[in-house]
Structure 1
Amino acid sequence: MPRQRIISDVKKVDHTIEVTAVNADIKAADAEGRAYSAPALEKGLDILEMLCQAEAPSSMKDIAQQLGRSVGELYRMLAVLIDRRYVAQVGDSYYITTKLFSLSHDNPPTHKLLAEAMPIMQKLSSQLDQACHLTVYGQGRQIVIAKVDTPSGMGFSVRVGSELDVLVSASGRVLLAFQDLETRKFWIEESLVRRPEQADPQIAGVLDFINKRGYESAPSVQVRGLYAVSYPVLDSHDRAIAALTVPYAERIDQARRKSIVDIEGALGEAAALLCARVGGRSPVSEQA
C-alpha cells in the first residue's frame, strides 16, 4: 500500500475517534443540562486535575481509566500539555510539573501578598522561635502559599502547597469569619462537600465570635498538644484574603519559651503590618 494512502487512512481514523469522542462529550453535557463548547479544553483540565491529585506518576492507561476515557482521546492532550510544560513524561509515566504553582504565584495579588508577607513572617518566626504559615481559601479547602520553619529546627510546620481543612482549623475559621454572609455561607457549603463529617450546627456563632475578637486562638483539634493562633489578612473591604497562622508547639526544654499570650501579641502585630502593606485594615484594634 502506498505510503501516502497509509498516512491518509491514519488521519481518517484519528478524525473518526475525535469526532466520536466530541459527540459523546456533547451528549453527556446535554444530559447534565450544562452549556458545553470546549470538549478538548475539558479533557485537558481533567488531566491536569487528575495528575495534581495523584500521589505518584501515572501511565497513560492509568489516566484514561481514572477519567473514564479512551487512550485515543487523551494522547494528543497529553502531548500538548507536555509541550507547554504543564506535564512531564519519564518513560511511560506522566506527572504534573511546578508550572501551575509558579503561575499562581505570578498572579499580581498573590505576588504582592507574598512579597510583603515573607520578610514579616521571617521576622515573626525568628522572634518567637516558632514556625508560621500563610493560607488562602480555594474550593472548600485552604492552600498553604508560604511558610517559614522554626529557626531552631525543632517545631511543627506545614509544607507549601499543602491542602488544609477549613471548618475545623483556626486559619480556616478565620478565613470564613471575615467574609460577607453570602460568601461565608457558600464557602461553608463548599467545605462540607469536601468534608461532610465536619458539619457544625454552632459554626455561625463561632465565626461571629472570631470576627468580633479579631482572631482565633485555640487548641488544635487535629494535632494533639498543638495550639493554633491565626489572624486574618484583610483587604480594603475588610475581607480576609489570607490567614497568617502560628501553630504553637511548646518547647518544654526552653527556660524562656514564649507563652500563648506572647504568640497572640506578636502575631497580631505582624498581621497588622501585613494588612497595612496590602492596603487593608487590621482587626487588632477591634480586640477586647
Structure 2
Amino acid sequence: MRILDTFTPTRTVQTVTEIGRRAELPSSTAHRIVNELVNAGLLERDEDRRVRIGMRLWELSTRSSHALRLRQAAMPFMERVQSRVREHTQLAILEQDEALFLERLSSPASGSNVTRVAGRLPLHASSSGLVLLAFGLPDLQERVLSSGLTQLTRATLSDPHAVRSKLAEVRQLGHAIAPGYIEEVSTGIAVPVRDETGRVIAALSVVLPRDAESDFAIVELHRAATDIARSLGFRS
C-alpha cells in the first residue's frame, strides 16, 4: 500500500528509486516488492523501465464497486447537465475526510477547473465538499472543523464558525455555492445525491466562471440529482 500510495493524479509514472524514497523503503525492498507487483499485473513497466499502475489493478478495483455503480447511474444525467450548462460537471464522494471525484465532464469551451478524476479536494473549500460535509455525520463535521482549515484563496472559508454557518445554509437551501473558494476565477455549485435509503452519498457539481449567473445551473443540478437518486432506487 505504501508503494501504491506514491502514485497520484499528477505523478503517474515513477522510477523504482523514486518509489522507494517516497514510500520510505530500503532500495532492495522497493525493488523486490515492485517486481512482485509487476509480476501480478498490479504495476506495469514502460519502455524506459519506469513504473505505472497496471490494468489489473484497475480491473480488480472496478469489480462490484459501489463507486462504479454510482458513476454508471449518474453518467446519463451528468451528460444532460453538461450539455445544457456547458461547463465542467463533476461527481464526488466522501473518502477519508476529503471529496474524491469519480467523474468530470467538460467541453473545450469550459472555464478553469483544477479538479481531476480520482483527484481530491478539501471538504471545507469546495462546493462538493461542503455538501458532503453539511449532510455528513456530526463527528465528521467536528473532525474536519477542528483539523485546521487551509485557505486556498482569499475567498476560502477557513474560520470554523464561518464554515458552520455555511453548512447550515447548505442544509437549508439544499445546495452549496462556493465563489472563488478553489480558484478566484471560478464558482463551484453542488447539490446532494441520495441513495435508495435517502442517505446523501455523493455531490453533483458544476464549475462556472466567477461572474456567471447560477440559477439555471442549480435547477439542472437538482433535476439531475433527483433522477440519479431514482435510478438508484430512492422514492421520495
Q: TM-score range by the shorter chain?
A: 0.7 to 0.9
C-alpha RMSD over aligned residues:
2.7
Tell me by how many angstroms 1:104 deviates: 3.8
CA 1:220–1:98 in structure 2 vs 1: closer, same or farther (change >3 Å)? farther
SS of equivalent to 1:243: strand
Higher strand share: 2
Match of 1:132 among 79, 89, 107: 89
Q: 2:19 aligns with which of 53, 59, 63?
A: 63
Are the structure 2 counterparts of residues 182 and 250 from structure 1 closer, same or farther at C-alpha, using a change threshold of 3 Å? closer
Determine if contact 1:228/1:248 at 8 Å carries over to the other structure.
yes
* Cα-to-partner distance string for 1:141-189 (whole Å, 9 max, x where unaligned): 2222112213xx2013543222222211111000111122123334555
Does residue 229 (structure 1) correspond to residue 189 (structure 2)? The answer is yes
Match of 2:33 in 1: 77
The residue type equivalent to 1:128 in the other structure is: V
Change (3 A) 1:268 1:48: same
- Offset of residue 129 of structure 1: 2.1
1:174 maps to 2:138: no
- Among 66, 69, 76, the alignment partner of 1:109 is 66
| Paired letter, 1:68 | E
For residues 28 and 101 of structure 2, what CA distance do their matches in structure 1 show? 36
Partner of residue 269 from structure 1, selected from 223, 226, 229: 223
Q: State yes or no: 1:244 paired with 2:204.
A: yes
1:17 corresponds in structure 2 to none
C-alpha distance after superposition, 1:207-258 (max 9, x if no partner):
122112111124132222322210011224543211100111379xxxxxx8
Q: Secondary structure at the match of 2:116?
A: coil
Higher helix fraction: Structure 1 or Structure 2? 1
**Deviates further, 53-62 or 229-238:** 53-62
Deviation at 1:89, TM superposition (A): 1.8
Q: Which has the higher contact order (CA 8 A, sep 6+)?
A: 2
Unmatched 5+ stretches in structure 2: 152-156
2:44 corresponds in structure 1 to 88
Q: Which amino acid aligns with 2:23?
A: L
Q: Does 1:142 find its partner at 2:96?
A: no
Conserved in 1, the CA contact under 8 Å of 2:180 and 2:210?
no
In the alignment, the residues of structure 2 paired with residue 165 and residue 49 of structure 1 have an alpha-carbon distance, to the nearest angstrom, of: 18
Report the CA distance shift for 1:101/1:61 in structure 2 as closer, same or farther (over 3 A).
same
Does residue 260 (structure 1) correspond to residue 206 (structure 2)? The answer is: no
Which string of whole-angstrom CA distances, capped at 9 and with x for unpartnered residues, describes residues 57-96 of structure 1?
Answer: 3333333333333222233311221122221123442222
Match of 1:13 in 2: none
Alignment partner of 1:51 is 2:7: yes
Does the Cα contact within 8 Å between 1:231 and 1:244 map onto a contact in 2? yes
Separation in structure 2 between the aligned mates of residue 53 and residue 214 of structure 1, nearest angstrom: 31
How many residues were matched structurally?
Answer: 227
Report the Cα offset of residue 46 of structure 1. Answer: 0.9
Partner residue of 2:109 out of 142, 145, 154: 154
Give the corresponding residue for 1:200: 159
> What SS is found at the alignment partner of 1:206?
helix
Residue 207 and residue 103 in structure 1: after superposition, are their counterparts in 2 closer, same or farther (change >3 A)? Answer: farther
Which residues of structure 1 form unaligned runs of 5+? 1-44, 252-257, 283-288
Residue 216 of structure 1 is aligned with which of 176, 183, 198?
176
Q: Over alpha carbons, which structure has the higher Rg?
A: 1
TM-score (norm. length: structure 1): 0.69
- Partner in structure 2 of residue 35 of structure 1: none
Contact 1:176 1:184 in 2 (8 A): yes
2:12 and 2:52 in contact (8 A); partners too: yes
Task: Please give the secondary structure, in 2, of the residue aligned with 1:46.
Answer: coil
CA 1:53 to 1:224, structure 2 compared with 1: closer, same or farther past 3 Å? closer
Structure 2-normalised TM-score? 0.82
